């Protein structure tokens, strides 16, 4: 009886092959970057809307805090106001981090079936929350105030979406000759 496998899942053989020999299990860069961007947009929407509804924060507060990572604490001046420079700075920082996190998560996601990958993504989102809001707060102390349920949920959402979006994009990238390097 043959064993069923999912796209990207390693087939079990008697010998161990290095990861880079089997192109079906290598992460796909375009799929990982696109997944990270989609999840990053959902994260920003969730944290802005839920933060204003649940915690009473202004919808622009997360953007000001993220922009301050690039421009410094001066971006924290008027956190409830729309400021195009702050918003675009925040979007640049967040898009870059989302793409990077999507690429890193793809190396783990390819090891799991499309049905299990979202749960792995949620776990990665929880880990990412801990790293971002307990590890990096030494560099960005203004982020400490964002610790809480809304931010934690938004990170779980981010991780789950990266993993959920990755597999369909992975398969699409394999089907498109221009995107596939394999």
DSSP-derived secondary structure for 89-131: HHHHHHHHHHHHHHHHHHHHHTTS-TTTHHHHHHHHHHHHHHI
Is the whole model's pTM more than 0.75, yes or no?
Answer: yes
What residue ranges do the domains of the chain occupy? Answer: 29-173
Per-residue confidence (pLDDT) for residue 18, from 0 to 100: 43
Token pair 């839920």 is at which residue?
50
**The two three-digit tokens of residue 178, written as one number:** 């221009």
Q: What pLDDT is stored for residue 81 in this prediction?
A: 78
Q: What is the pLDDT of residue 7?
A: 59
Q: How many other C-beta atoms are found inside a 10 Å radius of the C-beta of residue 163?
A: 28
DSSP 31-43: HHHHHHHHHHHHH
Q: Any idea which residue has 């991780």 for tokens?
A: 159
Of 147, 172, 128, nearest to 34 by C-alpha is 172
Walking along the chain (182 residues) 10 residues at a time, the average pLDDT comes out as 55 47 69 94 94 85 89 80 88 95 92 89 96 89 87 96 89 64 50
9 φ/ψ sector (left φ>0, alpha ψ -120 to 50, else beta) = beta
């Amino acid at each position: 009886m043959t064993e069923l496998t999912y796209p990207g899942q390693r087939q079990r053989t008697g010998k161990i092959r290095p990861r880079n020999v089997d192109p079906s299990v290598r992460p796909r860069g375009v799929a990982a970057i696109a997944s990270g961007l989609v999840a990053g947009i959902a994260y920003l929407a969730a944290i802005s809307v839920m933060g204003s509804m649940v915690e009473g924060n202004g919808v622009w507060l997360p953007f000001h805090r993220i922009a301050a990572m690039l421009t410094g604490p001066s971006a924290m001046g008027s956190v409830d106001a729309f400021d195009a420079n702050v918003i675009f700075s925040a979007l640049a920082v967040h898009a870059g981090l989302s793409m990077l996190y999507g690429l890193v998560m793809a190396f783990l996601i390819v090891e799991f079936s499309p049905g299990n990958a979202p749960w792995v993504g949620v776990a990665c989102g929880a880990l990412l929350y801990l790293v971002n809001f307990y590890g990096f707060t030494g560099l960005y102390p203004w982020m400490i105030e964002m610790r809480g349920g809304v931010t934690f949920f938004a990170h779980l959402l981010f991780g789950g979406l990266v993993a959920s979006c990755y597999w369909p994009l992975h398969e699409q990238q394999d089907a498109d000759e221009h995107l596939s390097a394999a």
